[in-house]
Structure 1
């Protein structure tokens, strides 16, 4: 029995490591990494500067997924997802103004999301950060199965990541 537990533990560690490496090398994460640190710019939709919804548009346009321009309109697109059921590529929405949906990001897994913050530009934050946890409103899944598979595909699978996005 002890050998079985040791073997099982080893397999869990092996496969969890593979899963982590795979998740970090997805086309979605490569696309986000390419614009990491881009400054915040109100109304911005290019790598010169993004607002939160412009950042989302930029990333999803690379996968031929068309979304509305504003975070409020994006929050009404796709299918509602419970916070506990989030998968990478889901959109997360926040009320940072006190007047409804006013901020959005892309869930990337492990309780984290990528977004363009007015203070930091494109960055990664945790849903559990007290600021975002208090202001979380909803999440939406805007990808079809085939689009999700492309988002999560290993970036090196088809050669150079930049040429496949």
Structure 2
């Protein structure tokens, strides 16, 4: 347990990262149409939680890799209080099972997400079809 020092030339000063809700939505929109890739976390293909993890990473915010962990660790947000950039989570059995899907709220009742292997990154209404039936909750990381 001693003290260590770094030389000034060995340290690179970087700018402070500030989270912007508009910037994360704009970043997500850049990937519209990108193919779904199971376990994908790169710009050639994403799965749902890999997509949200990378979006937050682009803003300097580290979040867990998997959808259920993302749901467990974010600050809970009531549906009526959603803001662009919040994460929305979905689970079978009318939202009561383990979280199996995540999207990012984009505003106006819409989310952007990587839905499944048959669909590329796209927007859908949070309340539409199975998403409305399986809504589990929402979380905020910034």
TM-score relative to the length of structure 2: 0.78
- The structure 2 residue matched to 1:49, chosen from 45, 63, 72, is 45
Distance in 1 separating the partners of 2:72 and 2:30: 27
In structure 2, the partner of 1:155 is none
**RMSD of aligned C-alpha atoms?**
1.7
Work out whether residues 96 and 103 of structure 1, in 8 Å CA contact, stay in contact via their aligned partners in 2: no
Residue from 34, 37, 40 that aligns with 2:36: 40
Q: Tell me the alpha carbon deviations over residues 133-159 of structure 1, each in whole angstroms, 9 at most, x when there is no partner.
A: 00000101111xxxxxxxxxxxxxxxx
In structure 2, the partner of 1:163 is none
> Which 4+ runs in 1 deviate beyond 3 A?
96-99
Match of 2:83 in 1: 87
More helix by share: 1
Hey, what's the Cα distance between the residues in 2 that align with 1:81 and 1:30? 22
Change (3 A) 1:42 1:36: same
Would you say 1:66 and 2:42 are equivalent positions? no
Using the TM superposition, give the Cα deviation of residue 96 of structure 1 relative to its aligned residue in structure 2, in angstroms: 4.5
Query: CA separation in 2, counterparts of 1:29 and 1:66?
Result: 17
The reply on whether 1:124 has 2:104 as its aligned counterpart is: no
Counterparts in 2 of 1:12-51, with a 5 A limit?
A: 26-51=22-47
Report how far residue 61 of structure 1 moved.
0.7
Gaps of 5+ in 2: 1-21
Deviation at 1:63, TM superposition (A): 0.4
Unaligned stretches of 5+ in structure 1? 1-25, 144-165
Partner of 1:106: 104
